[in-house]
A = this chain, B = another copy of it.
């Protein structure tokens, strides 16, 4: 049972590293050295972060990535969502169809409660906070 996959994890680490450089443009080679993440994979992850507007990218010599928002406004649940889709702890299906029990299922109710909690907890963690740690 896991919740956070590799690309999300890498993304968070990269964002933290970039954030610490406050305003400087950071290129992939530097990130690879610092974080020991496989280069092509890291590139893919960064492209994802760029598309979703977490970072801004600059091409050409001297190019690289910069945060597009203040670190305190980058919520890790959104980063996770970018790579893993929305949080949905229990997708109960009955042979590809949505489960007919859904309305009454008591387990679902409790899991939904858990999901809300998890989501609000994860929703309160920002890159900015991680840096302080």
The docked-state distance in angstroms from the alpha carbon of A118 to that of B3 is 12
- Chain A, 84-105, contact with B by CB distance < 8 Å: what is the 0/1 string? 1111111111110000000011
* Contact partners of A110 in chain B: CB under 8 A: 121, 125
State the copy count for this chain: 2
A4 within 8 A of B: yes
A70 within 8 A of B: no
The docked-state distance in angstroms from the alpha carbon of A38 to that of B38 is 41
Chain A residues in the interface with B (C-beta under 8 A): 1-4, 6, 9, 12, 36, 38, 76, 80-81, 84-95, 104-107, 109-111, 114, 117-118, 121-122, 125, 129-130, 132-133
Contact pick for A12, options B76, B85, B91, B107, CB 8 Å: B107
